Amino acid sequence: MQRHDEPSDDSTVMRKSFSVELWPARNPSGQDRLVAMFELLEKLRPDFTSVTYGAGGSTRDRTQELVNELVGKDWSYPVAHITCVGHSRAELTSILLEYQRHGVEHVLALRGDHPRDSDADLSRSELKHAIELVELAKSLGFRSVGVAAHPQGHPESDSLERDREFLARKLEIADYALTQFYFDADAYPRLVDDLARLGSEKPIVAGVMAPKSWNSLSKMALLSGTHLPEDLAERFATTSDFEALGIEVAIALAQSALSDGAPGIHLYTMNSALSTAVIFEALAKELGRDDV
């Protein structure tokens, strides 16, 4: 992970990274949301901007277009997500080399989830785990290769201990991890402590999401294996303003992770300029970014 700006020269404020995730647009209204995001991000100057990749290659062209659009922006640099599923090694190599030809130097290496509504041929998945993709990207000379970390364990894992061991191995070669979103504030320091016990000291950036609706929250939590604490589920189920509560929860989780020593916050923006602006403003002081 590399900072976009120089750290603040105010020695009393240690700058923490602030990064965002974007989705490639699917239709014209999605494109309008991206335009609004770009206008906002130019002001916020995130340390990096990551772009999701539809596992199986479903967003391959749109992801590449968006990543390429971010190359050379003076307010951030792109981190291209790339996933193993549905691709041969040769295809993954070709996607990575194509990025390099466009000046992309940073990738997030993921396994991906098997897409249910895609006709991608999964028997073509030659790389079974993200660690193999980290090795491939590293062998091609990317400046940084990040990985996913699952604070509450990956849903397919036999046990939390095994999942932590695999993550620690992945982090021996990767440069940093971005966490999956989570709603139990203790999950972040537990993850960092477990990794430290396994001898892994690489930066673990806390991933934070402001859920927008009960429907999307339950779908995403199910897919990612994220536990929603009962009291929070009750608040989400009964609130009259779901989005405002989502933002409040995201801010509280980010503040908690920063006070637990997180080196930065990665915001799953879902391309919402409004919630990104509110969350950034609330965190600016803790991030050492109250100049914005």
| CB of 104 closer than 8 Å to CB of 68 | yes
d(CA 259, CA 17): 14
Question: Does 286 help bind ligand FAD (rule: CB under 6 A)?
Answer: no
Residue 134 or 287 having the CB closest to ligand FAD: 134
Q: Taking the CA of residue 94 as centre, how many other CA atoms within 13 Å lie in the half-sphere pointing to its CB?
A: 7
CB of 216 to ligand FAD, least distance (A): 15
Using CB atoms within 10 Å of the CB of residue 76, give its burial: 0 to 12 exposed, 13 to 18 middle, 19+ buried. buried
Q: Which residues contact 101 (CB under 8 A, 6 or more apart)?
A: none
Question: Does 53 help bind ligand FAD (rule: CB under 6 A)?
Answer: yes
CB of 148 to ligand FAD, least distance (A): 3
Residue 147 or 287 having the CB closest to ligand FAD: 147
Question: Does 276 help bind ligand FAD (rule: CB under 6 A)?
Answer: no
CB of 39 to ligand FAD, least distance (A): 23
Residue 164 or 289 having the CB closest to ligand FAD: 164
Question: Does 271 help bind ligand FAD (rule: CB under 6 A)?
Answer: no
Q: Which of 21, 42, 161, 286 is the catalytic position?
A: 21
Rg (CA), the chain: 18
Q: Which residues contact 112 (CB under 8 A, 6 or more apart)?
A: 53, 55, 56, 83, 84, 85, 86
How many other CB atoms sit within 10 Å of the CB of residue 148? Answer: 21
Which residue among 67, 178, 254, 262 contacts ligand FAD (CB under 6 A)? 178
Give phi and psi for 31, each to the nearest 5. Answer: -65, -40
Question: Does 129 help bind ligand FAD (rule: CB under 6 A)?
Answer: yes
Site residues for ligand FAD, window 182-241 (CB under 6 A)?
A: 207
Residues of 173-184 as b/e, b for ≥16 C-beta within 10 angstroms? ebbbbbbbbbbe
Which residue among 62, 154, 202, 289 contacts ligand FAD (CB under 6 A)? 154
Question: Does 175 help bind ligand FAD (rule: CB under 6 A)?
Answer: no
Instruction: Tell me the three state secondary structure of residue 147.
Output: strand
Question: Does 111 help bind ligand FAD (rule: CB under 6 A)?
Answer: yes
Closest CA to 266 of 151, 153, 160, 98: 151
Which residue among 17, 19, 49, 52 contacts ligand FAD (CB under 6 A)? 52
Is 21 one of the annotated active-site residues of the chain?
yes
Give phi and psi for 92, each to the nearest 5. Answer: -60, -40
Q: Taking the CA of residue 80 as centre, how many other CA atoms within 13 Å lie in the half-sphere pointing to its CB?
A: 31
CB of 278 to ligand FAD, least distance (A): 21
Question: Does 131 help bind ligand FAD (rule: CB under 6 A)?
Answer: yes
Which residue among 113, 184, 248, 260 contacts ligand FAD (CB under 6 A)? 113
Which residue among 33, 62, 81, 87 contacts ligand FAD (CB under 6 A)? 81
d(CA 166, CA 156): 12
Which residue among 125, 180, 226, 271 contacts ligand FAD (CB under 6 A)? 180
Active site residues: 21
Using CB under 6 A, list all residues that contact ligand FAD.
Answer: 52-53, 55, 81, 83, 110-113, 129-131, 148, 154, 156-157, 162-163, 166, 170, 178, 180, 207
